[in-house]
Amino acid sequence: MTTTPEHYVQEKAAKSGSSFYYAFLFLPPPRRAAITAFYAFCREVDDVVDETSDVGVAATKLAWWRSEVAKAFAGQPSQHPVLQALMPHAPLYNITAAHLHAVIDGCEMDLQQSRYLDFPGLQRYCHLVAGIVGEVAASIFGQTDPQTTTYAHKMGLAFQLTNIIRDVGDDARRGRIYLPVNELKQFDVKANEVLNRGYSERFTALMKFQADRAHRTYDEALALLPDADRRAQKPGLMMANIYRTLLREIEANQFQVLHQRISLTPVRKLWIAMQTNWRGR
């Protein structure tokens, strides 16, 4: 059965089960089509790293994506349905090749390093894989104030910090620890304890430190959102409420994240999105 590029990206977004998908449902069709295509692009390049065990093969695939993006923005038709679906929206929502290349750069960092010495180093990674995504999303949602970009970058960081907390166990099984090395030392948690799923009071204290920083980042992001764009950025606020509820769920579970991936049910995510839509915050 042949599938259209639009159907392909819709399937990709829906299948991911991501919290983002539930926020997209409330957008008008043109914006929904644009964010779905962009999100599918992010998933495609992220999957290259997560699903390809050979680093050389993954690097080759990311190089292919880099060249496809360059060709697409040079006006050549793309071979891939994700770019076929995304490119018609690029000029409408100020999506540039630099945005897409930055997302690829972030995924490439996963091939080159599996530890971060300190939080500023981790922030650089978060900027590429989440801050840039937030910037593009804010533009698609209907940004009018330049200050909204600063909000979007900060909110992207909050989302990524939540992902890191949720995925400590999954990432460790891939040989990656995103918790900064100097913070592991600060709480006297050895890397091999994380890799071997070793819970302790020290690990819980380390994770509480991570969660507190994530909560502060959400608060800082929300304070940066200009009133003029609050209504347009409602999908981002839906995602923030879903992600923050997840963070609180992880805290309530005493950070039992090494042996399982704590998540919210689809019904709960949809309910939070609907509540945010009604309340407007």
**pLDDT at position 19 over 90:** no
pLDDT, position 2: 58
pLDDT, position 15: 80
**pLDDT at position 114 over 90:** no
Pick the CATH number of 116-280 from 1.10.600.10, 1.20.1090.10, 3.20.20.105, 1.10.3720.10: 1.10.600.10
- Per-residue burial over 223-251, b if 16 or more Cβ lie within 10 Å, else e, is ebbeeebbebbbbbbbbbbbbbbbbeebb
**pLDDT at position 281 over 80:** no
pTM over 0.85: yes
* Whole-number percent of the chain with pLDDT over 70: 99
Tens digits of per-residue pLDDT, 33-45? 999 999 999 999 9
Tens digits of per-residue pLDDT, 202-231? 999 999 999 999 999 999 999 999 999 999
Token representation of residue 8: 């392909």
Tens digits of per-residue pLDDT, 183-197? 999 999 999 999 999
Mean pLDDT, rounded, of the chain: 94
Tell me where in the chain the CATH 1.10.600.10 domain(s) lie.
116-280
Q: Report whether 31 contacts 140 (CB < 8 A).
A: yes
Tens digits of per-residue pLDDT, 28-74? 999 999 999 999 999 999 999 988 888 999 999 999 999 999 999 99
pLDDT, position 50: 84
d(CA 101, CA 104): 5
